[in-house]
Every structure is written in C-alpha cells, then in structure tokens.
Amino acid sequence: MADTASILIVDDDEDVLLAARLLLQQHYCTVHTESDPTRLPVVLDRELFDVVLLDMNFAEGRSHGEEGFRWLDYVHSRDPDAVVILITAYGDVELAVRAIKQGATDFVLKPWQNEKLLATVSSAVALRASRREVEHLRTRQGALHEELLQPFRDIIGPSAQMRRVLDMIRKVAATDANILILGENGTGKELIARAIHRESHRLHDVFLSVDMGAISETLFESEMFGYVKGAFTDARQDRAGRFELAMGGTLFLDEIGNLSLPLQAKLLTVLQNRQVTRLGASRSTPIDIRLICATNMPLHDMVGSRTFRQDLLYRMNTVEIYIPALRDRPEDIPPLVEHFLAVYCRKYKKEAKFVSPATMVVLERHAWPGNVRELQHAVERAVILSEGNVLEPGDFFLPSTALAAADEPASAGSNLDHIEKEAIRRVLRKHNGNISLAAEELGLTRTSLYRRLKKYNL
C-alpha cells in the first residue's frame, strides 16, 4: 500500500520529472511535479507537501546554484520545518554541502540510483513525520502548561473556609517557607500543594510527590537519600534519592504522620543540615528544595503522646494550612458537582447531565466521610450508570439514611419546597427570565417549569 505522504519535485528537466514521478508514484499517494520554480508560491499555497525535491540550477548553462539557494530559502520562509532534498549534478557536490548548511535535509546526485533515491525520500518522510509529532507535542505541552498556570484552576469552592485557604496560598506561595497541610483524607491536600508550587518561583521546576506511608522502613534511606554503587547487594549503579530528584523544585511528602520515630530523626537531620548523604557515600550533597508536608493525623496530639517529634513538627510547619472537611462547607457541593459532571460527561462522551433540586438537597445533606474524593467518585459513577439526563437521588447510590434525610420534615427555611423555589428563582435570574434556558439548566420541561412557577407564585 502506498504511503500517504505527498512529494513535490521541482526541476526544469522534463525527463527528470517523468522518471522521478514514475518511480515515486509506486510508493507515495501524491507526487506533484513542477518544471517552473516561479510557480512555487502558487503550488505551495494550494497544498502542503511532506518532502520537496528541488533542483539546484534552472537556467540553461548555469551551475553556481544560486537559484537553488534562493528557492530553498523561499520554501523555508513558507514552512521552517520543510524537508527539502536537493537534486544536483556530480559537479555540484560542494554546492550541495553548502545548501545543507543552509537548511537542506539531504541531496541526490543526477543520474540517481533508484534504491538510493527511495531510501533518501523515505528518510525525509520519516523526518517530516517526526517534526510534526514534535510540534504537536510542543503545542499540547504549551496548552497544558498555560492551563495549569491558571490560578487555582482545580480548587473549587466559594465557601468562606476555602476562600481563606486560597488567601493563605497567595501569601505563602512566593516564599520558600516550609508548609504543613492538615486535613482529612480526600480533602485535596495534594491539590493545595500543587497550587502552592504553581504560584511559586519554582513553578518551572519539578513537583515531586512522595507517599511516605508507602515506603517501608528498610527502603526509606535508599528511596529518599539515594545510594552509590556497591552500597548494598543490589546497588549496581549510583542512584539519586527523592531529595536530589526534587532539586530546584518542590518536594511534597504526603502522609508524613506515618513515619516512625527513627525515620523522623533521619528526616530531621536532612532538613536541619540542608544536605543529603547517599547510602555508601562519603560526601554530602547540598539540597535546594521547597518542602511541603501533609497528613490526616493529629500531629500536635502525637507530639503530646511522644509519637511525633516536636522539633520535626516545628521544622515542617513554618506555615500551617488546614483544609476543612466537605461536611463543614456544604455550599461548596453544588459547584463541585457541576464541575465533576462536566468533566465526566466529556470523558465518557455523554450528553450533558444535570442534578435535580431534590437530588442536590440529598447531596448537600450527606456527610461525605471520604470528602471531595468520595463526591467525585459518586458523580463519576452516576454519569456512567444513569440513563436519563436528570440525575435523581437514586443515581448516586448513597446510603439509605442519606436518601431518607431528604424526606424528613424540616423548618420553613430549609424544606424541599423552599429549596426548589430558591433554585428556580436563582436560575431564572441567571437567564434573565428565559424559560427555555432555565428549564434546560434545571433539567425540566417547559411545562414542568411553568407548573412550578404557578405553584410557587413566581
């Protein structure tokens, strides 16, 4: 099967064009020939070519190759990544070498050997494909980098508690102060750590996350501090530890409360001296890192019970940030639900889904012991398994106690009718009274919305 690459051949010799076209058409889908180089602007406007084969001399009797250099420059001015192969006579080899220095990819001699021409064109096609892939990856990386640099893009929560957390991040990020992040599992401690890194002067360097609870006692020193060849039986080569790998960037030590007292002492020594010694090494390496630690354990109580070193705690928490549990900030649940719905509908290629007002009441009243992570998984599961576009309480597979809470009688300020009325009023205000848009966002038909407007006298 012919390669999908497109080839352009530019030469004033019709015999050369015919021979090249007949050969290359057996291997490539598109082979375009042009005898007049002045038509290059028109040809290149019409089509993008993977490889251009370009003659060095076009005027009869000329052999200095200046026309070839001029058209080579022109092709590269149109496409800096263009792959150009020069076609030259035996006497023009020095000119071809000069042209390669000016950006040509390769050259073929006239008369050519078919196998040599095919090999040269094949390599050029592969080069063009690799350049396109590199450019694609560079573009994607740039887009992702720009997206990541948006301040607090993944931290969702309008509550006063989360606004205080964001305000703390803004204050401490620009410094190199050690940070201790406290909070229950699933509250987003690593998310906060990454936000601090992105807002710091180290944002272009590495962010290295280490789960301290997953490193065994016997591997702690080799994993964290590294080792030299021969330090122990399986040390077949030098290896840097996590501290060295994070040089210049941020080292995030999660679940720091799981460290035993002996390991706490080793960690404290490194933090105090700001240098690390690999296992088996005789010299230490200075370290330049931003340290952020996190735990769901009560470190201050552990200091009192002598299970966590007080001097290590002081060394880690120049600034302490507490992430409140989701049950303590229920006003953050609706925007989180909307965010996760959008993420997972897009991920699983589902039509947009919405949460009914009654369902939102259930979600807001649920305790969420797993915090934001539990909510995220519940929304993902609901998106995957639900059949309709409006999610009801049963779509979230919550405990029966949570579902029953929605049916319990409540005060006038918090009963379901009042909440539904306020939800409708808020959405109508958002869409300036447009019934169609409001009904779509609420997951209702226009008729159902009109019935509710009449019911609530809106």
Quick: pLDDT tens for 82-105. Answer: 899 988 876 566 776 787 888 888
Report which of 205, 191, 98, 104 is spatially closest to residue 152, judged by C-alpha positions.
Answer: 191
Q: Give, for 290, the enclosing helix (H) or strand (E).
A: strand 290-295
pLDDT in the model for residue 437: 84
Residues facing 293 on adjacent strands: 180, 253
Average pLDDT (127-156) is 68
pLDDT in the model for residue 90: 61
pLDDT in the model for residue 139: 61
For residue 411, pLDDT over 60 is answered with no
For residue 418, pLDDT over 70 is answered with no
282 or 291, which is more confident: 291
246 or 143, which is more confident: 246
374 or 414, which is more confident: 374
Question: Domains in the chain, please, with CATH?
Answer: 3-142 (3.40.50.2300), 160-324 (3.40.50.300), 328-455 (1.10.8.60)
Residue 452's identity, in one-letter code, is R
Give the burial class of 272: count Cβ atoms within 10 A of its Cβ; 0-12 exposed, 13-18 middle, 19 or more buried: exposed
- Average pLDDT over the chain reads 86
pLDDT in the model for residue 414: 45
Q: Which stretch, 46-60, 201-215, 392-406, has highest mean pLDDT?
A: 201-215
162 by DSSP, 3-state: which? helix
Phi, psi for 421 (deg, rounded to 5):
-60, -45
324 by DSSP, 3-state: which? coil
pLDDT in the model for residue 194: 93
Q: What are the tokens at 304?
A: 């009192």
Q: What is the pLDDT of residues 284-340, one digit of tens each?
A: 999 999 999 999 999 999 999 999 999 999 999 999 999 999 999 999 999 999 999
Average pLDDT (348-366) is 91
* Distance (Å, whole) CA 402 – CA 394: 10
pLDDT-derived band at 149, boundaries 50, 70, 90: very low
pLDDT in the model for residue 400: 57
Portion of the chain with pLDDT greater than 70, in percent: 89
For residue 35, pLDDT over 70 is answered with yes
pLDDT in the model for residue 373: 94
Q: What is the pLDDT of residues 252-270, one digit of tens each?
A: 999 999 999 999 999 999 9
